[in-house]
Structure 1
Amino acid sequence: MKVIKVLNTSIVLAKRKDHKEIIVMGKGIGFKSKPGDFVDENEIEKIYVLENESMSSDLTALMKETPKEYLIMADEIISYAKSVLSSHLNEHLYISLTDHLFMATKRFKDHMTIQNRMLWEVKKFYPEEFGIGLYALTLIEKRIGHKLPEEEAANIAFHLVNAQQTDNNMNQVLLMTNTVKDILNIIKIHYRIELDTHSINYSRFLTHLQFFVQRLLEHKMLDSQDQELMSQIVNKYPEEEKCALTIQQYIEAKFELSIPDEELMYLIIHLKRVMSRN
């Protein structure tokens, strides 16, 4: 393999005999190399195969400004995620997660805290991804000594959720988008109002709907059978229940699927929140 570009003292961009571009890591490997040189295989610690030109340019640009430790941590987190999740993970996760880890620790060192308002939802609806996020926080503390807040576990979980969306399920993504749009229209018609699309509450409600529809399409809907709690919610929020039941009728007509009581309950709660603050 030949060196194409030296990214820093420990990382070079190289090309194999099959013309695949790769990122090669090794202590001092960039210090001793220049474009056109053959890579000393005895000094290689890690190789990342780049699937396409876009990923090659993105990762090359990222590694010019990012210490290699963050790519190594991202690689360990992704390897762990692959052992936990059954879904395929998009290769661009290496780029997005490496960049996120670097920026998250930078913000932490600068005493800048960004609150994740979806922490509860991520913990509830994506427990596996959130668990991987907690694993990542433990790894970060072990490797670089920073104990990041729990919100960062949810942020990392978001990256994992997004990485499970591939080109192969683009039709499902479009279906999810249109379904969310239809539900929002049902809400507008029911309450005869326009929602404040610039508010934090709307953003949070929209994310809940996206998660809700994704679980619907993946047949992973929540169903705890807690009838007592459901009765309390229905009695407390009768108008929101009417709207939720209209949404349920729409879902049943479009997908021939019923919404379990637990999902209906969370929908009522989120409707109440967004409507009371709209």
Structure 2
Amino acid sequence: MKAIKKINNNVAICEDDNKKELIAFGKGIGFPSMPYHITDLSLISMTFYRMDKSYYKLLEEIPEEVFEVSAMIVKKAQLTLDCKLNPNLLPGLADHINFALIRFKKFKKMKMLFSYDVEQLYPTETALGRYALKLIQKKLFVKLPESEITNIAMHFVNAEEENISEPTEFDVENLIERITNEIESKFEITINRKGFNYNRFVMHLRYFLKRIEEKKQFVDDNGVLFVAMKEERPEIYECAVLISAIIDEKLPAQIIQDEILYLMIHISRILKNNTSN
């Protein structure tokens, strides 16, 4: 196996003997100068094929210790869940955990609710969410709120389908393009559609549409964070409300505050890191 690019000290982009690209984990495999051949394959603890390349930059930005814990959680999920998992589970989960840690440090007194509905519907995934929180506390010395059990569990639920089932009553691609055009028009920008922040936003929209269809919108009671962000960036709030209205035209639903908050977070990321004027 050939390591071709370093992600961090313990993660590298590699090629197998058939020239197929993968992400490999192993203690110290990112230390040597790239490229190099990994002759001792016992050094590699985990590999991930078919990960979307748009996530590679995201992997580089996640703190190494957060990434390693996330990889351990994903490995536990692979051993526990009797199904194939989406290869993009790892970067999505690592990104979520990193944001949860930042959010917790900034809003320690924020009260959020654990979803008992999710626990009833997905007991195995909820158990994995509990395992994740215990591991985060043990390895990163942060005790995240119980509501994160629900959030992490939903990452596993969503990852259990290789392809997100899309609504059949309308063209999802056209809807996403319309939403993208609205963001570009409102902020007078051109979005880099190949950037990982935009890719992450598109994936969020797909899962969002799926949750609306299945009547499983997130309910985390993020009121403090919602109010803070709304007051700080009212134009982003207005854009998120507009997007909600566009979606409501296609899938009538009362889109809740927490879902609007997540839209605001993704719009903010696009504006900050993924645009060209």
- Specify the alignment match of 1:80 in structure 2: 76
What aligned pairs does 1:109-128 form with structure 2 within 5 A after superposition?
Answer: 109-111=105-107, 116=112, 119-128=115-124
- Are 2:157 and 1:139 aligned? no
Are 1:174 and 2:178 counterparts?
no
Q: SS of the counterpart of 2:5?
A: strand
C-alpha distance 33-128 of structure 1, shift in aligned 2 (>3 A): same
How many angstroms does 1:148 deviate by? 0.6
With 145-154 and 97-106 compared, the bigger mean Cα shift is at 97-106
CA offsets per residue over residues 18-75 of structure 1, 9 Å max, x none? 111122334443332123x3235378343423225xx2441x2122112333333233
Give the distance between the partners of 1:81 and 1:10, measured in 2 at CA.
20
| Residue of structure 2 in register with 1:48 after alignment | 47
Q: Secondary structure at the match of 1:19?
A: coil
Letter in structure 2 aligned against 1:163 = A
Q: 5 Å matches for 1:84-233?
A: 84-111=80-107, 116=112, 119-167=115-163, 170=165, 173-174=166-167, 210-211=214-215
SS for the counterpart of 1:154 is helix
Aligned partners of 2:112 and 2:145 also within 8 Å: no
| CA 80–142 in structure 1, closer or farther in 2 if over 3 Å, else same | same
Root-mean-square deviation (CA, aligned residues, Å) is 3.5
Using a 3 Å threshold, how does the CA distance of structure 1 residues 18 and 140 change in structure 2: closer, same or farther?
same
Deviations 1:80-108 (A, max 9, x none): 33444344322211121121122212222
Answer yes or no: is the 8 Å Cα contact 2:8–2:64 preserved in 1. Answer: no
- Partner Cα separation in structure 2 for residue 91 and residue 42 of structure 1: 21
1:226 is matched with which residue?
none
Deviations 1:183-214 (A, max 9, x none): xxxxxxxxxxxxxxxxxxxxxxx9587258xx
Q: 1:114 to 1:85 in 2, by over 3 A?
A: farther
Contact persistence 1:176–1:210 (CA under 8 A): no
Over alpha carbons, which structure has the higher Rg?
Answer: 1
Distance 1:148 1:34, change over 3 A: same
Cα deviation code 1:126-163 (max 9, x no counterpart): 23222211111111111111111101001001111211
Q: Give 3-state SS (helix, strand or coil) of 1:134's partner.
A: helix
* Aligned residue pairs, count: 180
Per the alignment, in what secondary structure is the counterpart of residue 116 of structure 2? helix
Counterpart residue type for residue 44 of structure 1 = L
User: What residue identity is the alignment partner of 2:47?
Assistant: Y
Aligned to 1:264: none
- Structure 1's 134 and 64: CA in aligned 2 closer, same or farther, altered over 3 A? same
Provide structure 1 residue ranges, at least 5 long, that are not aligned to the other structure.
Answer: 178-205, 213-270, 272-278
Aligned ranges for residues 2-13 of structure 1 at < 5 Å? 2-13=2-13
Q: What secondary structure does 2:214 align onto?
A: helix
TM-score, normalized by length of structure 2?
0.53
Residues 2 and 39, structure 1, Cα contact 8 Å, conserved in 2? yes
**SS at structure 2 position matched to 1:6:** strand
Normalising by the residue count of structure 1, what TM-score does the alignment of the two structures yield? Answer: 0.53
Give the Cα–Cα distance (whole angstroms) in 1 for the partners of residues 30 and 69 of structure 2. Answer: 20
Q: Please identify which structure carries the higher helix content.
A: 1
Q: Is the 8 A contact 2:104 2:144 kept in 1?
A: yes
Residue type of the alignment partner of 1:210: E
Q: Sequence identity, in percent? A: 32
Ranked by relative contact order (alpha carbons within 8 Å, sequence separation 6 or more), the top structure is: 2
